[in-house]
Amino acid sequence: MSNQGIKIWYQNPVPLLDEFKGLESLIGQTTKSMGREGTRIDQKWLKEGFFNPTFSYTLAYNTLSQTQRIYAATQEGYDAVVIGNALDFGLREARSIVTIPVAGVLESALYFASSLGNSYAVVVVHNQTGQLLADAVKRYGMTDRLVTIADMGIPLAEVADTYKNTDRLLHLFNEAARKAIHEHHAEVIITGCTILSSLLTLSKIHSVEGIPVIDPVWAGIKMAEALTDVHRNYGIEVSRVSVYGTCPDWEKEIPPTQ
């Protein structure tokens, strides 16, 4: 069994604009403590894309840009990729063009939640993300245990700045999580925002009233490590017979930009 170190490409869903400089540091602090010994995690950003990819067109545009960046990870010798957005956009597309493992943070968090409790809730910062996230959970076939998607009510325009007001963010999260626990009987809480989840991890908040809180960032990193072990030791990759099928000669027909 291989005990070689793992190099993970952590893909953020937006370009590194001035508004996100603080987030780069925040997410960097959290990822450093999450990998096991020998795991290296490098944060990557889009070369171009929209500031807010939570609308149909901007999401589609950033998905293509993100998928092309993930292709670059294979050219640069990375062992695995973590898609660092709570909607997992680009996950299916990336898996269809690369052979290294690609983990989505939402998908990974759902698997962890299913192992830790019989029901789970997702806490999102605003309702629009919640609707898109609900579609993703349905696509994964994991709605049976989802009891609610709780909205913290933060306006879209304020999301990028939420990490600057930690007390307010943690207060709103606790309110939404407690409501999910008491009114919907959630046994596990998943944070539906990587900004929020990173703040919770740095604040050492891993439970609310004894109910586990899952940070999708660490869930994605742990999944990427596990998938890399399986890939290295047994040669197992995604099945190519349907949604992860690779179009023949796609790279020659339209070479990917990176």
Q: Is 75 buried (19+), middle (13-18) or exposed (0-12) by CB count in 10 A?
A: exposed
Q: Is the predicted pLDDT of residue 82 greater than 60, yes or no? A: yes
Same fold across 6-104+218-253 and 106-216? yes
Q: Per-residue pLDDT tens for 23-63?
A: 777 777 777 778 899 999 999 999 999 988 888 899 999 99
Looking at residue 243, the DSSP 8-state letter turns out to be T
Q: Per-residue pLDDT tens for 147-201?
A: 999 999 887 666 666 667 788 889 999 999 999 999 999 999 999 988 889 889 9
Kindly report the CATH number that applies to the domain delimited by 6-104+218-253: 3.40.50.12500
Task: Dig out the tokens for 128 from the structure.
Answer: 């629009």
Q: Is the predicted pLDDT of residue 227 greater than 60, yes or no? A: yes
In three-state secondary structure terms, 13 is: strand
- Residue spans per domain, the chain: 6-104+218-253, 106-216
DSSP code string of 183-202: HH--SEEEES-HHHHHHHHH
Beta strand residue intervals within 96-226, DSSP E: 102-104, 120-124, 146-151, 188-191, 207-208, 211-214
Which residues pair with residue 80 across a beta bridge?
A: 8
Out of 3.40.50.1450, 3.40.309.10, 1.10.10.10, 3.40.50.12500, which CATH number does the structure's domain 106-216 have? 3.40.50.12500
